[in-house]
Amino acid sequence: MSRVLALISLLLALGPFTWALQRASRFTTTPPVASVLGRVTVHETVGRTFGEHPVANLSLYLIRVEDGKAFHELQRKCRKAVAQGQSNPAAAYDVCIQSLSDAARMVPQMASATKAQTDREGNYRFENVPAGGRYQVVGIKYEGDEPVVIVGLTARLKAGEEFKINLSENEAWTDALPPSR
């Protein structure tokens, strides 16, 4: 009998607390979100015929710009090597290949990386992306042993926005580099 009374007392004591939690949960808001979507293609010229083809089944990663400092350093390292590569193009090539390899290993392991895959038409979509930030879309694939890294940069995302960014395998992976601070 004393256990039953103790349980009833406990429930009565917790009642107002439980009611307050239920009431507060009705007023919580979900953070504003956006979407990032687009298409990935490769441009090829065969003979005199130009064609644009989708890049299917490409692994894509969405990373917050502020979390990508190590990735950006690899982009800058390659860009600098190419700019200074007039005297030794082979050394610039080696620096860029090493940077690409490091980037291809690094990006999938990044804590903020969200993954998507292109469909057979090269289309991709990232849903429920926290608004207010800037992001890089990074595509990674291998041709033989050499990595191909495709990068695009978003503007600051607004709540409810569908930010469209089309990527091309033909663009340099160092082009979509956020400004240094």
16, containing H or E segment: helix 2-26
Question: How far apart are the C-alpha atoms of 134 and 34, rounded to whole Å?
Answer: 11
Q: Residue 6: its pLDDT value, please? A: 55
Q: Residue 5: its pLDDT value, please? A: 53
SS3 (DSSP) at 15: helix
Q: Residue 47: its pLDDT value, please? A: 83
- pTM of the shown model: 0.79
Output the tens digit of pLDDT for each of the chain's 181 residues.
666 555 455 555 555 555 455 555 555 567 899 999 999 999 888 888 888 999 999 999 999 999 999 999 999 999 999 888 777 889 989 999 999 999 999 999 998 889 999 999 999 999 999 999 999 999 999 999 889 999 999 999 999 999 999 999 999 888 888 877 5
Q: Are 161 and 34 in contact (CB under 8 A)?
A: yes
CATH 2.60.40.1120 fits 32-168, yes or no: yes
SS3 (DSSP) at 97: helix
Q: Residue 166: its pLDDT value, please? A: 96
Question: How far apart are the C-alpha atoms of 6 and 11, rounded to whole Å?
Answer: 9
> Could you tell me the residue ranges of all domains in the chain?
32-168
Over the range 58-67, which residues count as b (16 or more CB within 10 Å of their CB) and which as e?
bbbbbbbbee
Q: Are 82 and 97 in contact (CB under 8 A)?
A: no
Q: Residue 176: its pLDDT value, please? A: 84
Question: How far apart are the C-alpha atoms of 102 and 45, rounded to whole Å?
Answer: 30
